[in-house]
Copies of this chain bind each other. A is one copy, B any other.
């Protein structure tokens, strides 16, 4: 189910590109090609979410985009904070693409005084202000980009403060209390996966994608 939800994000991106190119309708096959899945998956996804097309002319891009926005309405109306503004954290903090989904990072936190910057576009604050900022902004999502040894304590703190969803970049498994959901992005694992695919004999069949 979460895969379907996540694919909506990919569909939206592809549809916006097509719309910007002046196209009004898409077939499941065309959208599949653009977003990297299969026509069957597109149709079933749309079917599950009640997005309807026309038996011949495909799906109306504007209508589908509107439908996706409606579905993700409540999902994307959540504040996001980021903990750990180092190499990776800063990159995420500066990234504009998230706000396209409505999910904008409202503040960053870091223990290193040298990283504090209260006037930043998203400000970077000391962790002592997490409690205040989270309750003031009503943030419910957090990104963890601290070193691995600090990740679990960071999660504990965030969970106490009412954070309900966490995207964790530290390459460790975190233990979360019931009701707090953790999703891991482990780039080492991803790179290793690519390396394995690349090491396969040339004639091997394809079965990847993410």
Contact = CB atoms under 8 A, between A and B. Distances in A.
Contact of A183 (B75, B91, B208): B208
A151 B173 CA distance: 32
Contacts of A72: 192
A190 B2 CA distance: 10
B194 A167 contact: yes
A166 B185 contact: no
B88 A172 contact: no
A210 interface: yes
Interface residues of A, number: 69
Interface in A7-47: 7-10, 13-14, 34-36
A172 B91 CA distance: 19
Contact of A195 (B78, B173, B198, B209): B78
A189 interface: yes
A197 interface: yes
Contacts of A136: none
Count of this chain's copies in the oligomeric assembly: 2
B210 A181 contact: no
Given A87-B91, A88-B91, A103-B192, A197 B209 contact: no
A5 interface: yes
Interface string A190-203: 11111111111010
Given A101-B188, A191-B98, A196 B87 contact: no
A207 to B, nearest CB: 8
B103 A171 contact: no
A15 to B, nearest CB: 13
